[in-house]
Structure 1
Amino acid sequence: MQSNPFVMLIQVIGNLYLFIVLLRMVLQLTRADFYNPISQGVVKATSPFIIPLRKIIPSIGRLDTASLVLALIVQLLTLLLINFAHGVNAQPVQYFIATVVGVLYHLLDLYFWAMLISVILSWVAPGANHPGAMLVAQITAPLYSACQRVIPPLGGLDLSPIFIFLAISFSKQALAFYGFG
């Protein structure tokens, strides 16, 4: 199968913007620092589309449903453009499933990378004051606390990242059944 640079460009741009939209949703869900420069950049990159959506789609608790809907739209458009470039025509149900599974897969990817960065930072620069390090700590804190309720740290050794990585990997493998991964 030959590689199509147009398809690669669609995937890179679509996945990058999807990552930014999902990051905004996660930042709001975890109540991360809104005044962090990285948070401000994410808000500026997504506001042109989210502000109009918020007028018709209200939030549900802490979940920013406008960001979730935008993530689904971005994933669907990416799939449609890729299929159009390949000359593939799928059924609406297939697009729906692929869109939902794709957003979940990319959300798991976001958490995977946040966890990896968190673990590396805990070795290299514990307690770093960099805006990126603080944001990663705020994003991963709910995962750590949920896992530590089940498996408390053993002395100075925290095993929760291992179990979180296993849960993320297992979930990604389950989603790979639908063609992602």
Structure 2
Amino acid sequence: MLYQIASFLLDVIGGLLTGACLLRLYMQWQRVPFSNPIGGLVFALTDWLVMPLRRVIPPMGRWDVSSVVAAGLLQLVQYFLLWLILGAGSAWAWLPWLALFGLVRVAISGLIGLLIVYAVMSWMQARSPLSDVVARLCQPVLRPVQRVIPLVGGVDLSPLVVLVVLQVAMIVLGHLQAAVLQG
């Protein structure tokens, strides 16, 4: 029971901070301005880790490498703490793989969350700075699907299709993670 509670709490805290680092990277890559509530939250959650790393790790073009390194380090710390709690002996060698899988899992989960918010906001026809930011972040993922799937009765089904694909990716990721750990 203690392990489940610790795992849950570390997953929430690690997922939130890792997701914020990845969102920071994605917002910079998509050139979404940070002068909005989402940008303020991202800076508040990540500056303590990303800014010191940025002094050592310069960006590569439009890629803020320090945000990726920060996200990876957060996942590594999360799985290291779980390893300490579990007392898994020599399983420490798998920590980098677990951190990598955790990083991909957080990225997919974050995209799923963005798409759900996008879909709900599109139903309500809410025009706000927040909805514009969410739409800008979702469009690169939705645009290829929107080219293939037309509107059905005026409803955009592309978020649903992408959500299904992302859920399948999560299942595949879980099986890959299990295979790596067993093999």
Give the TM-score of the pair, scaled to structure 2: 0.85
1:25, 1:68 within 8 Å by CA — same for their partners in 2? yes
Q: Which residue of 2 aligns with 1:84?
A: 84
When the two chains are superposed, the root-mean-square deviation of aligned CA atoms in Å is: 2.0
Shift of 1:74: 0.1
C-alpha distance 116-157 of structure 1, shift in aligned 2 (>3 A): same
2:150, 2:156 within 8 Å by CA — same for their partners in 1? yes
2:71, 2:103 within 8 Å by CA — same for their partners in 1? yes
Shift of 1:155: 6.7
Per-residue CA shift, 1:10-45, capped at 9, x if unaligned?
332222211221221222122222211320221132
Matched position secondary structure for 2:31: coil
Query: Which structure 1 residue ranges, 4+ long, deviate > 6 Å from structure 2?
Result: none
Shift of 1:152: 4.4
> Which 5+ residue runs of structure 1 have no aligned equivalent?
none
In 2, the alpha carbon distance for the partners of 1:13 and 1:141 equals 28
1:144 counterpart letter in structure 2? L
Give the TM-score of the pair, scaled to structure 1: 0.85
The alignment status of 1:172 with 2:170, answered yes or no, reads yes
Matched position secondary structure for 1:12: helix
Q: Which residue of 1 aligns with 2:138?
A: 140
Higher helix share: 2
Shift of 1:164: 0.8
1:72, 1:103 within 8 Å by CA — same for their partners in 2? yes
1:29-178 matched pairs, under 5 angstroms:
29-89=29-89, 90-92=91-93, 94-124=94-124, 126-129=125-128, 131-153=129-151, 156-177=154-175, 178=177
